[in-house]
Amino acid sequence: MKKPILGSHVGMSKTNKHGEYLIGSVNEAISYDANTLMFYTGAPQNSVRTATEKLHIEKFDQILKENNINKDHLVVHAPYIINISNPVNQTTWDFGVDFLKQEIKRCEEIGVKILVLHPGARLKGDYTDALNALVKGLNAVAATQNNVVIALETMAGKGTEVGLSLNDFKYVIDNVEQPDKVAVCLDTCHMHDAGYDFNDWDSIKKDINNTIGKEKVICFHLNDSKNPLLAHKDRHENIGYGYIGFDNLLKVLWDEEYIDVPKILETPYVENKAPYKEEIENLLNKKFTKKVK
């Protein structure tokens, strides 16, 4: 059987101990024995960005090649400050569209094809109006997408978030003008907190097939959850220490239908130390033996 495509969120900054900018990102991933990685192109909470020509893209590509990491499997996460589901504040929506265009351009320049985006929040607006605002925003940025596909992330339902249900993503994909430029990232913690029970992964797969279709799943965020089913909390837990459980996450990781889909760990640091090397080893060996806590 094929080996899963498994990595984690890594840093991307000038001060990364593994090297400057993208050099540090890929070297950090390699230190965890990962074969993919996810990074932000700048701080997720603001719009400050370093010019892409300073990110060492050429050296980044060389290290990827030397370590047999397929660049098509890499993921960029869009910043949290983008909210194109906002149906009540035109200024916020306009900013989100403009900044998303910039993020797409940066992904195109770096050569990463998967851009994960939180759908956003409706605030005081109507839920369907929020989904329509999301559709409108995706239509507005589509012309800037050459190779980049936006993967909308499943959400936990905290606050006024949209994108809790696979039906939400079906609605968006069915209504955008260029559905080939929109896909989905399944976050296991978020889905659990929204009410999807990973004790019955087969049932979830049926829901996927009956709504968006499995070909639209181009990325997973593989996380355990600190909270019980339907909690709507969005608090990630380390693999095997939460309410989803190690065996259920193994089923997702090793599922033959999704074995070629990159899976990214976003689990918490433990005593200021990244747990990813141990978690990757456990998941690839299918044994919960390397303790992170």
For residue 182, the cross-strand partners are 150
What whole-number percentage of the chain has pLDDT above 90? Answer: 95
Binding residue per annotation — 153? yes
- Per the structure, how many domains does the chain have? 1
For residue 236, the enclosing domain spans 6-285
Is there a domain that residue 291 lies in?
no
Flag whether 118 is marked binding: yes
Whether residue 225 is contained in a domain is answered as: yes
231 has pLDDT over 90: yes
> Mean pLDDT score of the chain, rounded to an integer?
97
Q: Taking residues 289-293, what's their average pLDDT?
A: 89
Does 292 fall in a domain? no
In-domain check, residue 290: no
H or E stretch including 218? strand 217-222
In angstroms, the CA 205 to CA 202 distance is: 5
Residues 6+ apart with CB under 8 A from 94: none
Distance CA 121, CA 96 (A): 12
Burial call 166-183: b when 16+ CB within 10 Å, e when fewer: bebbbbbbebbeeeebbb
User: What band does 293 get if pLDDT is binned at 50, 70 and 90?
Assistant: confident
Domain assignment of residue 1, yes or no = no
Distance CA 6, CA 63 (A): 17
pLDDT at 208 over 90: yes
DSSP letter at 196 equals -
- The domain that holds 29 is classified in CATH as 3.20.20.150
247 is in an annotated binding site: no
The reply to whether 64 falls in a domain is yes
- Residue 234 marked in a binding site: yes
Does position 7 have pLDDT exceeding 90, yes or no? yes
31-87 per-position pLDDT tens digit: 999 999 999 998 888 888 999 999 999 999 999 999 999 999 999 999 999 999 999
Q: Binning pLDDT at 50, 70 and 90, where does residue 290 land? A: confident
Question: Would residue 142 count as lying in a domain?
Answer: yes
197 annotated among ligand-binding-site residues: no
For residue 39, tell me if it sits in a domain. Answer: yes
For residue 14, CA distances in Å to 28, 139, 272 come to: 13, 34, 19
Q: Over range 228-243, report the average pLDDT.
A: 97
Residue 73 counted as an annotated binding residue: no
* Kind and range of the H or E run holding 30: helix 21-31
pLDDT-derived band at 246 (thresholds 50, 70, 90) equals very high
Was 266 annotated as part of a binding site? yes
Q: Which pLDDT band, with edges at 50, 70 and 90, does 1 fall under?
A: confident
